[in-house]
């Protein structure tokens, strides 16, 4: 009996308290055969808990300590470029319809330009100007590119202000319609290479010129600024607004862009 007690004491020493309580009943009958049963149960329990941890890890993947979605600064900016691209498609429709002498809702064009102003120019580009460009300048990297990107932000703001102004009219006279086509074309012609250069050249370099701490805190700052300017789910609400304009103009259904045989 003494032997059995000694074994029991040793077991309590090697099994953590939580697991020991869980298997108290088994322990009560543990003889030499019981020990191997106990060990096997303990291993199973370890495996199960490791599995649970893996599942939790999987669930929490991409989330920060507060359980919020973890989005890196380039990913954040590139999603915003995706939103801008959808507006460029709306502008493309404006160019086509007005260019053919057809009508397009000026309200829809004005709303799209309003999103460019509030979300792209006053937020997205502001983030690039406040957080990215100065870091590249300080690191003396891609300074020629940054200079052009800044000039293009300014040029874009000038075009958007004119589109918003013209879209306030009820109808456009022929020459105003041509001017609108020119403004929309100039905007799209500039922003497609602008975004593409940022996505392929500027953003991939960012991680190389800032520490990982700075990189992470920049992502948090972006998130904070977005919430401050547009409330929680600011990006998602902008996507919904753009989708609403697409529906109004009949270009929401993605399948319509698939070539027909």
Interacting residues toward Fe ion by CB under 5 A? 128, 149, 198
Q: At what angle do helices 73-99 and 106-115 cross, to 10 degrees?
A: 160
CB 128, min distance to Fe ion, A: 5
Which residue, 94 or 156, has its beta carbon nearer to Fe ion? 156
Helix (H) or strand (E) holding 226: helix 212-230
Which residue, 149 or 167, has its beta carbon nearer to Fe ion? 149
Which residue, 125 or 246, has its beta carbon nearer to Fe ion? 125
Which residue, 111 or 127, has its beta carbon nearer to Fe ion? 127
CB 21, min distance to Fe ion, A: 57
CB 153, min distance to Fe ion, A: 6
CB 191, min distance to Fe ion, A: 8
Give whole-number Cα distances, 144 to 56, 133, 180, 202, 206, in Å.
46, 11, 31, 11, 15
């Amino acid at each position: 009996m003494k032997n059995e007690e000694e074994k029991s004491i040793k077991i309590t020493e090697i099994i953590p308290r939580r697991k020991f309580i869980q298997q108290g009943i088994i322990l009560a009958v543990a003889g030499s055969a019981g020990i191997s049963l106990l060990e096997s149960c303990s291993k199973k329990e370890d495996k199960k808990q490791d599995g649970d941890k893996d599942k939790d890890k999987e669930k929490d993947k991409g989330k920060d300590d507060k359980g919020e979605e973890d989005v890196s600064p380039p990913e954040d900016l590139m999603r915003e470029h995706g939103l801008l691209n959808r507006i460029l498609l709306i502008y493309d429709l404006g160019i086509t319809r007005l260019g053919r002498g057809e009508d397009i809702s000026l309200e829809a064009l004005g709303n799209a330009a309003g999103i460019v102003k509030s979300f792209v120019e006053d937020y997205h580009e502001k983030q690039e100007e406040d957080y990215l460009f100065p870091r590249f300048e300080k690191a003396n990297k891609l300074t020629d590119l940054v200079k052009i990107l800044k000039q293009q932000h300014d040029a874009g703001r000038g075009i958007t202000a004119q589109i918003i102004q013209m879209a306030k009219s009820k109808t456009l006279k022929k020459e105003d319609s041509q001017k609108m086509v020119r403004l929309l074309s100039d905007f799209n012609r500039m922003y497609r290479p602008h975004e593409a250069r940022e996505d392929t050249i500027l953003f991939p370099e960012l991680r190389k010129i800032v520490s990982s701490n700075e990189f992470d805190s920049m992502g948090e700052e972006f998130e904070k600024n977005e919430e401050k300017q547009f409330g929680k789910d600011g990006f998602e609400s902008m996507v919904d607004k753009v989708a609403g304009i697409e529906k109004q103009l009949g270009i929401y259904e993605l399948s319509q862009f698939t070539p027909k045989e």
